[in-house]
Amino acid sequence: MRATLILENGVVFHGESIGLPGERVCEIVFNTSMTGYQEILTDPSYAGQGIVMSYPLIGNYGVNHEDNESLHPWAEALIVRHLAARGSNFRCEAPLDAYLKEHGIVGIQGVDTRALTRILRNQGTMNGMITCAENFSVQEKLETIRAFRVSGTVERATCRQAECYPAVGAQLRRVALMDYGVKHNMINCLRERGCEVTVFPAHTSAQTVLERGFDGVMLSNGPGDPADNTEIINEVLKLYRSELPVFAVCLGHQLMALATGAQTERLQYGHRGGNHPVRDIAEQRVFITSQNHGYVVKGETVDPSIAEISHVNVNDGTVEGLRYLKGNVFTVQFHPEASPGPRDTEYLFDRFVAMMGGER
């Protein structure tokens, strides 16, 4: 079936429908990862977005239930150069196209994803529409595309009630994890280090957490503009003012910065992929990181009496981490839990456990 991708700037790409035939409007972003498409689709940080995979062959090892990073995919659409008709891997349970159909994800293949990625890099992330309609007016579609806004994504992605996950092996510490759109492997990285993890909905009050006697708090990744979450930011400030160790990742990192007086800004096209170099200033080392974000903390707005920049992006110099001077609080923009991506920075979970008094 024929499919068409229309970008907000009026550029049109033609291709073949994959996944669920239909029409979908979303924010179009690109990811440079060569593998890990299933983890990417099930990352809640992609809520409201259509993903362009810059690698030309996607789906060649199929999908399986073990690689999901949440209960279901969150991406609205998938755009690829070529979709493998079947998966060739001993863990494969179904082809990617069947998975897309099962979960209602609209897609298109046969698109020049190299040209599309260059447009998004040069002109910035923009809205787009995939449609299987045969006869339509591009101008009329553009009105719908340009009116679209991604909103309310944290409320959609967060859990509905608290849930406890036991430690793997001997329990060393108890951690409260604020779910703004958490990935399963973030929970697993804590459990493997002897932490019992209680996952709380995003709008849980700080008082509720502080009254439960946890040894530390983790603020998760998540989708959307961090500045939209004003109520959550107020609760994060209360956690910052407590004596509990706090480790925050991605959206959690941005929320902590906003709570302490810094500002965030939107990147032109974001950082999404598994090969982003980040320098740990204290360690004087560069690590290859997994990333997925469209916003960053503005370095010049960070009060030096409150926090210092601990990590920077080697490619563009943007802030990738903050170490707070008051209390045991540190945050990073990248994903130390990876999935998909390199596991070079999992040492940060060890640092968090050590801050709580556990073993490294």
Q: Which among 194, 334, 175 is positioned nearest to 254, based on CA atoms?
A: 334
Taking the C-alpha atoms of residue 67 and residue 126, their distance in angstroms, rounded to an integer, is 29
Q: What value does the mean pLDDT take over residues 86-92?
A: 96
Does 360 have pLDDT greater than 60? no
> Using an 8 Å Cβ cutoff, are 171 and 358 in contact?
no
CATH class of the domain at 154-355: alpha beta
Average pLDDT over every residue of 233-243: 97
Q: CB count, 10 Å around CB of 104?
A: 13
C-alpha atoms less than 13 angstroms from C-alpha of 3 in its C-beta half-sphere: 25
348 pLDDT band, cuts 50/70/90, is very high
Active site residue 250: yes
| Residue 35 predicted with pLDDT over 70 | yes
Residue 279: C-alpha distances to residues 221, 239, 354 (Å): 20, 27, 22
Sign of torsion, CA 295 298 304 310?
positive
Report pLDDT for 327.
Answer: 78
Q: What is the pLDDT of residues 115-143, one digit of tens each?
A: 999 999 999 999 999 999 999 999 999 99
From-to residues of CATH 3.40.50.880 in the chain:
154-355
pLDDT (tens digit, 9 = 90+) per residue, 136-170? 999 999 999 999 999 999 999 999 999 999 999 99
User: Is 337 an annotated catalytic residue?
Assistant: yes
Rounded to 5°, angle at Cα 73 from 318 and 103: 150
Active-site residue flag, 293: no
Mean pLDDT of 93-106: 98
Residues of the chain with CATH 3.50.30.20: 2-150
Q: Which CATH architecture has domain 2-150?
A: 3-Layer(bba) Sandwich (3.50)
Is the distance from CB of 40 to CB of 340 less than 8 angstroms? yes
pTM, to two decimals: 0.96
For residues 330-350, average pLDDT: 95
Cβ partners under 8 Å of residue 284, min gap 6: none
Q: Which of 27, 250, 276, 320 is labelled catalytic?
A: 250
